[in-house]
A and B are shown apart, each in its own frame.
Chain A
């Protein structure tokens, strides 16, 4: 038996196939780009090749996959995916390209509470990309740089545009690349700090930003005095959760 999870995110589409025992048989990540047809071609090929019994789509583009048997929000898929790895009550922080979601997830994967930004994209992947570009930092190198910084200087502005202005001032002041990188990460941690959360629970950091910026884990642990876990392939967790939901729905039909 094969089950497909598809997470059509704002920047990347993630596909993942599991078997009855939740073993991952296939995964892929590619750019979402609304105008290309790669997604449909890949999906058709996969569905034929693996003989998919049931599928679930999620993400911003979740309603684009017409062949999906079920459609779920990414918050539920995040909860299902992490719960499969960690079947206890926990907090999940999912930082994607254009949003931050924070949820309290039960041992049975129910979403107990959740928060999601809906007015401002500060602290998301897009924020990092924009500010890093102004600071002339390679986003792939930011975590390494930040790890070598002792600075506690932080960007004050939540507005991406004003944060870019602020980082210009830092550059004028000859701030090192290491301190610039760390300052950007601290501003994201500050954004997360404002979201109501139960700090007594274990925290899981998932999403594309966790994958490309692992230093965020250190900043969050240091700032909030909590243990943070980044699961293997954090960018694929929602697709994995979608596949788990497809599998469980099929089995319990």
Chain B
């Protein structure tokens, strides 16, 4: 059975990350997953990412118990299920972090920072915790749904980054040091460069890392971006995957089709889906989701402007036109036969099937496309049997082409 040996190191790193959050005396900043983590690290904050907790609640299916608790206090189950699962977990005073990493609860925040480049929901989600912990909440609100990111947009976001500095200085009790910011940005850029190379190994056939595995191995690029640890980890992972490419060792021995996953993972059904595709020798080799933590634009020479550019040009913050171009390039580069659009019922912002995209993509590239309904955390929105028939029909479409 195919295994990625670096997984052992990954477990170790993630455990250490959470242990550090539990044991150290540094101030803690909560941050959105594509938020200004590098700037926060430059002040010496330990950075915690509630979305990572949301994913963990989804993957452990604990979310199914916690979502109803959030609904009871006015956060209905058809809004972001990361938000409802996380708030419900707080109400229940119960977290899978205990079993997996020994934390009885997420670390208490000293500062909460969001970036609405991914959605507006994070603002309300983080504000809830600001109230709960009587903790200051700051945010970056960039222009949204852009065709192209213009200089005025960069200036706007860049100035919002700079506006965070006084609050960060006050809470961390550290003066802003641009060299530290440059340093964390350089580490982040180097790690994201390696992460990109990791994902690109699956341009080869047989592919050495699937979308499903990548959702696990992306842990450090989300939570440890801007540290040496992330950089070191991706050196190890990349080295292993490159060897597998040379030896033609892939997660499937034979690939009868190559699939692209668009949208959020269905955290509680990763194994089910991974096995379903494997049964049909279908390799899910690329995704928008895992590609979302590649920040080519980081440049330590212009830390504010390049951060503003990198965090504003992310896929989720772009127009349908810009998204279509990105998808077409990835389909070509990864030699994709079919695209699954996951329409996550509680994640409007990261479901890209609702404005005719699947049809446009099929017309312009010739690949088969399929929409499946589901959710990132709330499995009541996912019908296993119906989704199986749809996926198997897609694979039959591809094999009969």
Contacts and interface: CB of A to CB of B under 8 A. Distances in A.
Interface residues of B, number: 16
B81 to A, nearest CB: 15
A110 interface: yes
Nearest to B391: A73
Nearest to B386: A118
Interface of B: 345, 372-373, 381, 383, 385-387, 389-390, 392-393, 396-397, 400-401
Contacts of B386: 99, 116-118
A75 B395 CA distance: 12
Nearest to A112: B397
A76 B372 CA distance: 18
A35 interface: no
B373 A73 contact: no
A30 interface: no
A111 B396 contact: yes
A72 interface: yes
B383 A75 contact: no
Given A116-B386, A119-B381, A110 B400 contact: yes
Nearest to B384: A118
A88 interface: no
A1 B400 CA distance: 25
Contact of A60 (B345, B372, B373, B385): B385
A55 B383 CA distance: 28
A72 B396 contact: yes
B113 to A, nearest CB: 36
Contact of A118 (B373, B392, B397, B400): B373
Given A73-B389, A73-B392, A119 B383 contact: yes
Contacts of A117: 386
- Residues of B contacting A: mostly: helix
A212 interface: no
A206 to B, nearest CB: 16
B387 A76 contact: no
Contact of B390 (A72, A110, A118): A118
B396 A73 contact: yes
B387 A118 contact: yes
Interface residues of A, number: 14
Nearest to A196: B359
A116 to B, nearest CB: 6
A69 to B, nearest CB: 16
Nearest to A103: B393
B393 A114 contact: yes
A154 interface: no
A111 B113 CA distance: 48
Interface in A114-128: 114, 116-119
Interface string A105-144: 0000011001011110000000000000000000000000
A76 B381 contact: no
A179 interface: no
Contacts of A73: 389, 392-393, 396
B378 to A, nearest CB: 12
Most buried by B among A73, A111, A118: A118
Closest 9 CB pairs of A and B: A118-B386, A73-B393, A75-B393, A118-B383, A73-B392, A76-B396, A110-B400, A118-B373, A119-B373
Most buried by B among A74, A99, A117, A119: A119
B397 A111 contact: yes
A75 B397 CA distance: 10
B28 to A, nearest CB: 40
Contacts of A99: 386
B348 to A, nearest CB: 16
28 contacts: A60-B385, A60-B389, A72-B396, A73-B389, A73-B392, A73-B393, A73-B396, A75-B389, A75-B393, A75-B396, A110-B397, A110-B400, A110-B401, A111-B393, A111-B396, A111-B397, A114-B390, A114-B393, A116-B389, A116-B390, A117-B386, A118-B373, A118-B383, A118-B386, A118-B387, A119-B345, A119-B373, A119-B381
